[in-house]
């Protein structure tokens, strides 16, 4: 069933997507909009119609329209015309981060509500400037921090907010991702290994994971002491079989984050987020423990990119039936369904206006939530660079 | 077989022990000398004879002599006479830490070599002052950092020094101990919950564990950023069945240590050492991972007091037979045999003089090693108190 099915109602939201291409070729890595946004929207055709697609070429936009049988979707290659297209209620941008601002500006000017992939900007300044513009226009925004919609994260939030594990006494996160390791799949673009682009080991797997964890715990960060390191300044290219191809490429993005932090109420949080191969022994690629006075929570994943991989949650508390393993649901597809959760929530709250989600269970993260995370990441780097504990209490203020 | 067996040779070392009592009573907690030093020495009667025992009362010393059938051991209650007893080559002190200095002074004055339990002093100043005295007298010293003699730790040291896991890229330690949790066994003395005594959660389980880890890795610490917290300022007393007895006692010792540190060569080290009950889900009470460019090491234990509990070591590296589980040996008794390792090594090197072990595989840790650890612990607290990254490179200088 395509989003253009007969289920579309007058209430449905018309979404224009920037960056929904279908691509081709042996080494083709399908874009995120194709992997996540399109299938998410296709699941709720009664709520969303894809009204338009803007790609860098008209042929690419037309190919997507034709290939996906989006019969009522208008293809664009002109940003200005796309921005002025009256059928777009909401504009989703899912392209390289440094392009976000220039692509969003005309759409903001045209009073479109915006769903932007995380990170919002290639820098915090850029994200703040985008936020300022949407606030001036009083637009609704969604930021693609979709881990907040993972069923396991929502379950943890429920366990904690209902006091099942009592007062939280410690939070720890350890993770490893090959993105920051000694080798690089040759199919990967160098884009995510150049820090100026803002989309990298630090902002993406670490940023999503930190956001999801803090959201689940429901506590603001008070201060951080951190080491943010670049241990690998070069990577060896490997082929699809992980064999070295004999080529070394440079990398200036960080690959190791170690944090001793405090949440509000002085709850300690300890983080090791490292680059490298999956460990042959020891914890899985993502391992998070949350301990409370009455219970304990463990969540794990095979991927540090836990915003798009299934999370295995287990917990136990005073009065629970031993150790409970949470069921994500047999049809759960983390890649699609977390993004789906954002669209569902945006639809549910389409007639109300909120500047940020914060730690609320309902609703969806906004550009304000995005800027908070941008600021937090900056403070973590600042602690590393200055050798000082950095107070972050003010990142929540606008 | 008692240490006074016929195996004793002219070469055997005569050791006088301060604090070897046998005690009695329902709530009696046998002293460390009885639990570890005595059985360790009893295993190598050809190398050591217990020449004397100094306790606070003569009856206690006599009871130990009689109960343990130490027929040639002289009981003392006079420190001065004990210190002047010519048959003591080596004096082992295993009593409350604040008593170390006053008990050691006359023995140092009498040119006895000294084996002191860790921590050496109730403060770094005290430890430094003891070190100064033994150096002036050119005495040999052993500090009871016996985790360095755990077979698993020595195996890790071998794996790392022989480059089996390649260049080390990260080190992480997480541990939990009830000593720093919300409850306290009523059998435990308040002594270890009063920071002025210097023997507590921070110095003992954390200190031993940190020392063993750094020794295994074989790298000095370069800098630390730390949070050292006291989350529980009170504890509820519990009985032998872990039932609350309805009494609350105060506690001023720390119970949570979170560190983002760097070893030499900027190898990152991340630590969470927390107080609380064993987790119902998640890692075991001690969980250490060491990752290298060619392999990974995991060591775990059911106790954060890993200096006296068995360590389960597993590792895997390029060319290893999958994941290898290290065999501690079927007769291995961590409590006794780690201390035994110190005595064995002291015997082996009794005719040579070394000021410190450092990270050498052979030999035994000395008061200089002890002072290095005292200084490191102080710097960790300093980082927490000042909110600054603390450079610790100079702690190794004398």
What is the DSSP pairing of strand A390-391 with strand B141-144?
unpaired
Report the pLDDT value the prediction gives residue B187, as an integer from 0 to 100: 87
CATH class of the region B148-330+367-386:
alpha beta
> In CATH terms, is domain A13-146 a member of 3.50.50.60?
no
Chain A 299-328, residues with CB within 8 Å of chain B CB atoms: 314-317, 323
pLDDT tens readout for residues A90-141: 999 999 999 999 999 999 999 999 999 999 999 999 999 999 999 999 999 9
Q: Of A47, A145, A62, which is closest to residue A368 (Cα–Cα)?
A: A145
- CATH for A148-328+367-386 is 3.30.360.10
| Contact assignment for B227 to A259 by CB distance below 8 Å | no
> Does B320 sit behind a cis peptide bond, omega within 30 degrees of 0 on the bond before it?
no
Optimal mutation site among B272, B276, B297, interface A, most CBs of chain A within 10 A:
B272
Q: Which residue would you say has higher pLDDT here, A258 or A189?
A: A258
Least confident range from A329-338, B38-47, B345-354: namely B345-354
Burial tier of A386 (Cβ tally within 10 Å: 0-12, 13-18, 19+): exposed
Confidence of residue B379 (pLDDT cuts 50, 70, 90): very high
Instruction: Quickly count: other Cβ atoms within 10 Å of residue A83's Cβ.
Output: 23
Over residues B185-238, the pLDDT tens digits come to 998 899 999 999 999 999 999 999 999 999 999 999 999 999 999 999 999 999
Contacts of B283 in chain A (CB under 8 A): 283, 287, 289
Best A270, A313, A318 residue to mutate vs chain B (most B CBs within 10 Å): A270
In this predicted structure, the answer to whether residue A179 has a pLDDT above a threshold of 50 is: yes
pLDDT-based confidence at residue A1 (cuts at 50, 70, 90): very low
Distances (CA, A) of B11 to A43, B49, B89, B213, B245: 84, 10, 11, 34, 53
Q: Do the beta carbons of residue A313 and residue A297 sit within 8 Å?
A: yes
Chain A: give the shortest CA distance to residue B316, in Å: 6
Q: How confident is the model at residue A25, as a pLDDT? A: 59
User: How far off is chain A from B216, nearest CA to CA, in Å?
Assistant: 17
- Would you state the structure tokens that stand for residue A355, as one six-digit string? 């500047």
Across the A:B interface, residue pairs with CB atoms under 8 Å apart total 148
CB contact under 8 A, A298 and B281: yes
How far apart are alpha carbons A21 and B26 in whole angstroms? 76
Residues 6+ apart with CB under 8 A from A175: A205, A206, A209, A272, A273, A274, A285, A286, A287, A304, A306
* pLDDT tens digits, A138-176: 999 999 999 999 999 999 999 999 999 999 999 999 999
Using a CB-CB cut-off of 8 Å, the residues of chain A touching B272 are 170, 172, 268, 270
With CB atoms and an 8 Å threshold, state whether A289 touches B268. no
Distances from the Cα of A208 to the Cα of A44, A213, A331, A377, angstroms: 25, 9, 23, 11
Q: What is the longest distance spanned by two Cα atoms in chain B? A: 60
**Could you give the percent of chain B with pLDDT greater than 70?**
96
The DSSP call for residue B131 is: H
Opening angle at CA A156, ends A150 and A157, nearest 5? 90
Of the candidates B270, B296, B298, the beta carbon closest to that of A272 is on B270
Mean per-residue pLDDT over chain B, rounded = 95
Contact B272 A270 (CB under 8 A): yes
Residue A219: asked if its preceding bond is cis (omega within 30°), the reply is: no
So what's the pLDDT on residue A180?
A: 95
Give the pLDDT confidence score for residue B3 in this predicted structure. Answer: 47
Q: B262 and A227 in contact by Cβ < 8 A?
A: yes
Q: Which residue in A has a C-alpha nearest to residue B325's C-alpha?
A: A281
pLDDT(B49) > 80: yes
Say yes or no to pLDDT of A26 above 70.
no
Distance between CA atoms of residues B118 and A15, nearest Å: 67
Tokens encoding B212: 């063993």
| Residue A370 Cα, gap to closest chain B Cα (Å) | 26
pLDDT value of residue B25: 59
pLDDT score recorded for residue A368: 98
- Using a CB-CB cut-off of 8 Å, the residues of chain A touching B271 are 270
The set of residues, in sequence order, having a beta carbon less than 8 Å from that of B391 and lying 6+ positions away, is: B222, B223
Q: What is the ipTM of this complex?
A: 0.94
Q: Please indicate whether, in this complex, the C-beta atoms of A182 and B280 are within 8 angstroms of each other.
A: no
Burial of B73 by CB count in 10 Å (0-12 exposed, 13-18 middle, 19+ buried)?
buried
Say if residue A27's pLDDT is above 60: no
Domain ranges across chain B = 13-146, 148-330+367-386
Angstrom distance (rounded) from CA A118 to CA A134: 16
Residues facing residue B90 across a β-bridge = B15, B113
* Nearest Cα to Cα of residue A304 among A281, A324, A329, A276: A276
Residues B228-283 pLDDT 10s: 999 999 999 999 898 999 999 999 999 999 999 999 999 999 999 999 999 999 99
Q: How far is CA B106 from CA A153, B41, B74, B111, in A?
A: 62, 24, 18, 9
Give me the mean pLDDT over the A312-329 stretch: 97
A84: its two tokens: 């002025």
CB nearest to A291's CB, from B279, B388, B389 = B279
What local confidence, expressed as pLDDT, does residue B191 receive?
94
DSSP SS3 for A50: strand
């Amino acid at each position: 069933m395509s989003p253009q099915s007969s289920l579309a109602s007058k209430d449905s939201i018309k979404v224009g997507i920037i960056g929904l291409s279908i691509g081709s070729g042996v080494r083709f890595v399908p874009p995120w909009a194709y992997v996540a946004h399109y299938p998410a929207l296709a699941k709720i055709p009664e709520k969303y119609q894809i009204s338009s697609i803007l790609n860098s070429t008209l042929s690419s936009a037309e190919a997507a329209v034709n290939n996906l049988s989006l019969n009522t979707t208008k293809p664009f290659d002109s940003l200005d015309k796309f921005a002025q297209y009256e059928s777009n209620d909401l504009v989703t941008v899912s392209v390289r981060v440094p392009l976000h601002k220039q692509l969003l500006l005309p759409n903001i000017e045209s009073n479109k509500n915006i769903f932007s992939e995380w990170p919002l900007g290639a820098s915090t300044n850029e994200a703040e400037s985008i936020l300022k513009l949407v606030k001036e226009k009083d637009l609704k925004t969604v930021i693609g921090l979709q881990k907040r919609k993972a069923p396991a994260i929502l379950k943890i939030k429920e366990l904690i907010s209902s006091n099942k594990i009592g007062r939280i006494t410690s939070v720890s996160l350890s993770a490893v991702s090959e993105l920051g390791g000694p080798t690089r799949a040759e199919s990967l673009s160098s884009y995510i290994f150049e820090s100026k682009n803002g989309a990298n080991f630090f902002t993406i797997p670490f940023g999503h994971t930190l956001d999801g964890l803090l959201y689940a715990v429901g506590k603001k960060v008070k201060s951080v002491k951190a080491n943010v390191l670049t241990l690998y300044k070069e990577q060896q290219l490997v082929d699809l079989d992980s064999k070295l191809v004999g080529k070394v490429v440079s990398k200036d993005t960080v690959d190791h984050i170690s944090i001793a932090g405090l949440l509000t109420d002085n709850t300690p949080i300890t983080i090791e987020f490292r680059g490298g191969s999956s460990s042959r022994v020891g914890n899985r690629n993502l391992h998070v423990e949350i301990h409370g006075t009455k219970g304990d929570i463990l969540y794990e994943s095979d991927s540090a990119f836990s915003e798009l991989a299934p999370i295995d949650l287990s917990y136990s508390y005073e009065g629970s039936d031993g150790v409970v393993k949470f069921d994500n649901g047999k049809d759960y597809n983390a890649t699609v369904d977390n993004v789906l959760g954002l669209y569902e929530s945006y639809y549910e709250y389409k007639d109300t206006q909120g500047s940020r989600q914060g730690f609320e269970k309902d609703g969806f993260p906004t550009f304000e939530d995005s800027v908070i995370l941008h600021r937090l990441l900056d403070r973590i780097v600042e602690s590393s660079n200055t050798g000082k504990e950095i107070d972050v209490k003010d990142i929540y203020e606008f």
